[in-house]
């Protein structure tokens, strides 16, 4: 496995592991013991960067990741998140955001216990809180960094003004936002700003929530609990139109003797040396497939041709439900 650097000096594997789907979201949660084993297999295969959040579950995903990485904690980079309004005792989701400094501190203390560690490598604000100045949020994380409970500060789905204000108080090491062949909005303003400020970029849904793997079409039936049932981009009608994008990816996969998923990940890796995608999976075969993307070489001419081809495809459907979109890009 190759390594990359987020921000100034956070060294991580070139591909990380998004653990959210192991405890639900894309259908029923997977077997706990099997997922502990998978995370440990990921580490044995070279992955050192593991992504979780208190909201995943809530709480159960952090417990899973904490148990899994305990044998190699000092060699792992753990990323988790705060920012949603969750009852700290019951785990009840109250709705909306909560990034009040006193709440951030409580979340971090609870996350440390669940993750079975005394420090968090990368702490993200999961979504920008319109009711709390970002300067106060960055200041709270700065205090936690000074205390040694957090090493690096990150933001998720934040807009350029929020990023600038936060970075002025406490340097932002990484921005985690959606970016893939299926959603390229970050290229307009976000990526140039990250490059200017020296901020790493961690794309979530790098495989378009599975769509770019080529394993989903208009006839695919999702589990009733699958989040994609709520996403406009995953309606059968939208999928029918958007398959044109997948066809392009599949064609390049044939040329490179790779899979569609590997092309999608290799495309991200080729974009910038400070981009680190975090595809998620619950299967060892998919994990191995994703890791194989680091060996797929996309030349400059390949990248130009791919970008030109996909730019001609009008993608149908919003990437998130309307209620979620309201919490992005502030």
For residue range 153-174, list pLDDT tens digits in order. Answer: 999 999 999 999 999 999 999 9
Cα angle value 285/75/150 (rounded, 5°): 115
Which pLDDT tens digit goes with each residue over 262-314?
Answer: 999 999 999 999 999 999 999 999 999 999 999 999 999 999 999 999 999 99
> Burial of 65 by CB count in 10 Å (0-12 exposed, 13-18 middle, 19+ buried)?
buried
Q: Please give the average per-residue pLDDT across 138-145, as a whole number.
A: 98
Q: What is the pLDDT of residue 323?
A: 86
Write down the pLDDT at residue 324.
Answer: 85
CA-based max dimension of the chain = 54
Our CA dihedral for 299, 269, 21, 281, rounded to 10 degrees, sits at 50
Q: Positive or negative, the Cα torsion across 22, 23, 25, 27?
A: positive
Domain that includes residue 28, residue range: 3-325
> What percent of the chain is predicted at pLDDT more than 90?
95
Measured CA to CA, the distance from residue 276 to residue 261 in angstroms comes to 15
Q: Is residue 170 in some structural domain?
A: yes
pLDDT band at 326 (very low <50, low <70, confident <90, very high): confident
| 150-156/120-125 β-pairing | parallel
Residue 14 belongs to a domain: yes
Number of domains in the chain: 1
From the number of C-beta atoms within 10 Å of its C-beta (0-12, 13-18, 19+), residue 42 rates as buried
In this structure, the number of other CB atoms found within 10 A of the CB of residue 28 comes to 11
Q: Which band of pLDDT confidence, cut at 50, 70 and 90, is reported for residue 92?
A: very high
3-state secondary structure 143-178: HHHHCCCEEEEEEECCCHHHHHHHHHHCCEEEEEEE
The closest alpha carbon to 189, from 199, 295, 244, belongs to 199
Question: What does the DSSP 8-state code read for residue 95?
Answer: E
What average pLDDT does range 76-99 have in this prediction? 95
Q: Is the pLDDT of residue 55 over 80?
A: yes
| Banded model confidence at residue 330, pLDDT cuts 50, 70, 90 | confident
Q: Which two tokens mark 263?
A: 């092309």
Which of 26-30, 109-113, 256-260, 287-291 bottoms out in mean pLDDT, i.e. has the lowest?
26-30
Q: Tell me, what's the pLDDT at 245? A: 97
**CA end-to-end span of the chain, whole Å?**
35
CATH number of the domain within which 15 lies: 3.20.20.100
- 116-145 burial, b at 16+ Cβ within 10 Å, e below that, comes to bbebbbbbbbbbbbeebebeebbbbbbebb
- Radius of gyration from C-alpha coordinates of the chain: 19
Query: Is residue 330 a part of any domain in this protein?
Result: no
Task: Please give the helix or strand (H or E) that residue 110 lies within, else none.
Answer: helix 101-114
Is-above-0.85 flag for pTM?
yes
Active site residues: 56
Mean predicted lDDT score pLDDT of the chain: 97
Please tell me the predicted confidence (pLDDT) of residue 100.
Answer: 98
Q: Of the candidates 153, 78, 87, 155, which has an alpha carbon nearest to the alpha carbon of residue 118?
A: 78
Q: In this predicted model, what pLDDT tens digit does every residue of 198-231 receive, in sequence order? A: 999 999 999 999 999 999 999 999 999 999 999 9
Mean pLDDT of 179-194: 98
For residues 65-84, average pLDDT: 98
- What's the pLDDT score for residue 95? 83
d(CA 241, CA 243): 6
Please give the pLDDT value at position 329: 84
The answer to the question of residue 307 being in a domain is yes
Residue percentage of the chain with pLDDT more than 70: 100
Is the separation of the CB atoms in 1 and 13 below 8 Å?
yes
pLDDT at 266: 98
H or E element that contains 82 = strand 77-82
């Amino acid at each position: 496995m190759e390594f990359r650097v987020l921000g100034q000096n956070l060294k991580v594997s070139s591909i990380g592991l998004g653990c959210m789907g192991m405890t639900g979201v894309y259908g029923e949660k997977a077997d706990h013991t099997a997922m502990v084993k998978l995370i440990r297999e990921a580490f044995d295969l070279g992955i050192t960067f593991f992504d979780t959040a208190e909201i995943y579950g809530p709480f159960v995903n952090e417990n899973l990741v904490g148990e899994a990485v305990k044998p190699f904690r000092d060699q792992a980079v753990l990323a988790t998140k705060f920012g949603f309004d969750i009852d700290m005792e019951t785990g009840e989701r109250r709705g909306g955001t909560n990034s009040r400094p006193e709440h951030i501190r409580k979340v971090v203390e609870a996350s440390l216990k669940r993750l079975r560690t005394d420090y968090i490598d990368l702490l993200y604000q999961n979504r920008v809180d319109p009711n709390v100045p970002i300067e106060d949020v960055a200041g709270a994380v700065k205090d936690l960094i000074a205390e040694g409970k957090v090493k690096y500060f990150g933001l998720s789905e934040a807009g350029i003004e929020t990023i600038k204000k936060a970075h002025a108080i406490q340097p932002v090491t990484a921005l985690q936002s959606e970016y893939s062949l299926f959603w390229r909005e970050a290229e307009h303003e976000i990526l140039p700003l990250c490059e200017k400020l020296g901020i790493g970029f961690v794309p979530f849904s790098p495989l378009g929530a599975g769509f770019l793997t080529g394993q989903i079409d208009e006839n695919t039936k999702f589990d009733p609990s699958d989040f994609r049932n709520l996403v406009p981009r995953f309606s059968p009608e939208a999928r029918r139109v958007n398959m044109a994008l997948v066809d392009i990816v599949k064609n390049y996969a044939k040329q490179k003797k790779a899979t569609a998923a590997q092309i999608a990940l290799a495309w991200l890796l080729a974009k910038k040396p400070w981009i680190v995608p975090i595809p998620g999976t619950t299967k060892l075969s998919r994990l191995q497939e994703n890791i194989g993307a680091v060996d797929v070489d996309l030349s400059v001419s390949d990248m130009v041709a791919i970008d030109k081809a996909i730019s001609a495809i009008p993608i149908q459907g919003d990437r998130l439900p309307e209620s979620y979109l309201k919490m992005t890009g502030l």
